[in-house]
Amino acid sequence: MDKRRFLAAATLGAAALPSLAQSPEAKPGPRRAGNGPTLLTLTGAIGKSNRGALDPALDQLMVKQKLSFDKAFTFDHRALMQLPARTIEPTLEYDAKPHRLSGPLLADVLRAAGVVLQDRNRVLLRAIDGYAPGMTTAELQRFRPIIATHLDGQPLPLGGLGPLWAVHDADRIPELAAKPLGDRFALCPWGLYHIEVALAPA
Ligand SMILES: Nc1nc2c(c(=O)[nH]1)N[C@H]1C(S)=C(S)[C@@H](COP(=O)(O)O)O[C@H]1N2
Ligand SMILES: [Mo]
């Protein structure tokens, strides 16, 4: 039971608990990692799944962006918050100021979906606007991006850089810090919602 539901149950009193326990709303969905809307869907070479195939009728954004999959692993905000969080403080190109960003490492998100990265893997990080940079396993290990959920302590908003932003600590990665500010974040999609784990041709 989450805190909000716990408080609601406490307000209603103990007598309300049996019916609350029976309401469909109170039951965790069998295929869901949490109770909130899915924020991130992983497809491709994943080792675990908690949802089935793309629904051509209802998965409208994914249909428009021509995704196709027969299974996926999804995270809601809470499932992402349950992974160990890392904080980085890169200077952002948008205002040339350092900002505190926190969230799980992309590597840990992949691991939670049962991905075992090999040298010839590529991950495609797809954003809501269709921007979809690919990263090789080597780049992933060099840049160690996080899936940021918070900026300066506030949840990242949809409409801004969120709800998720794959971003790295550019100031502390010499190969990136050597570039002009405007060239450091090309592999950092804001509005990230889908990750495809691909196997490069051998
Ligand atoms: N969702 C999304 N993320 C993005 C981009 C984009 O077009 N869409 N552009 C990338 C590039 S090429 C750069 S240099 C930086 C800044 O681009 P932006 O001003 O479009 O955010 O964000 C990166 N992340
Ligand atoms: Mo760019």
Q: For 77-103, how does the pLDDT look when each residue is reduced to its tens digit (9 = 90+)? A: 999 999 999 999 999 999 999 999 999
State how far the alpha carbon of 38 is from the alpha carbons of 31, 59, 90, in Å.
Answer: 11, 12, 27
User: In testing the pocket of ligand 1, which one of 156, 181, 185 has its CB within 8 Å of the most ligand atoms?
Assistant: 185
- Domain that residue 67 falls in: 9-199
**Per-residue model confidence as pLDDT tens digits over 23-33:** 444 444 444 55
Query: Cα-flanking dihedrals φ and ψ of residue 16, to 5°?
Result: -80, -15
Whether the Cβ atoms of residue 25 and residue 4 lie closer than 8 Å to each other: no
Q: Is residue 1 part of a domain?
A: no
pLDDT at 199: 84
Query: CB within 6 Å of ligand 1 — which residues?
Result: 93, 127, 129, 131, 182, 185-186, 188-191
Q: Is residue 3 part of a domain?
A: no
For the CA of 191, the closest atom of ligand 1 is 1
**Per-residue model confidence as pLDDT tens digits over 32-44:** 555 899 999 999 9
CATH of the domain at 145: 3.90.420
Could you tell me the pTM of the whole model? 0.85
Which residue shows structure tokens 């040339």?
96
Whether the Cβ atoms of residue 168 and residue 146 lie closer than 8 Å to each other: yes
Q: What is the rounded average pLDDT of the residues 135-152?
A: 98
pLDDT at 12 over 50: no
With 0-12 / 13-18 / 19 or more C-beta atoms within 10 angstroms meaning exposed / middle / buried, residue 30 is exposed
What are the tokens at 110?
Answer: 């992949």
| Nearest-angstrom CA–CA distance, 11 and 177 | 53
Nearest CA among 79, 104, 96, 111 for reference residue 165? 104
- SS3 assignment, position 129: coil
Nearest alpha carbon, ligand 1 atom 12: 186
Higher pLDDT, 21 or 146: 146
- SS3 assignment, position 38: coil
Task: Tell me which ligand sits closest to the C-alpha of residue 130.
Answer: 1
Q: Is residue 108 part of a domain?
A: yes
Q: How many residues does the chain have?
A: 202
**Which pLDDT band, with edges at 50, 70 and 90, does 14 fall under?**
very low
**Which pLDDT band, with edges at 50, 70 and 90, does 202 fall under?**
low
Q: Is residue 34 part of a domain?
A: yes
Ion ligand 2, residue ranges at CB < 5 A: 186
Q: Which of 1-15, 45-59, 149-163 has the lowest mean pLDDT?
A: 1-15
Q: Is residue 181 part of a domain?
A: yes
Q: Is residue 4 part of a domain?
A: no
pLDDT at 26: 46
Task: Tell me which ligand sits closest to the C-alpha of residue 165.
Answer: 1
pLDDT at 5: 45
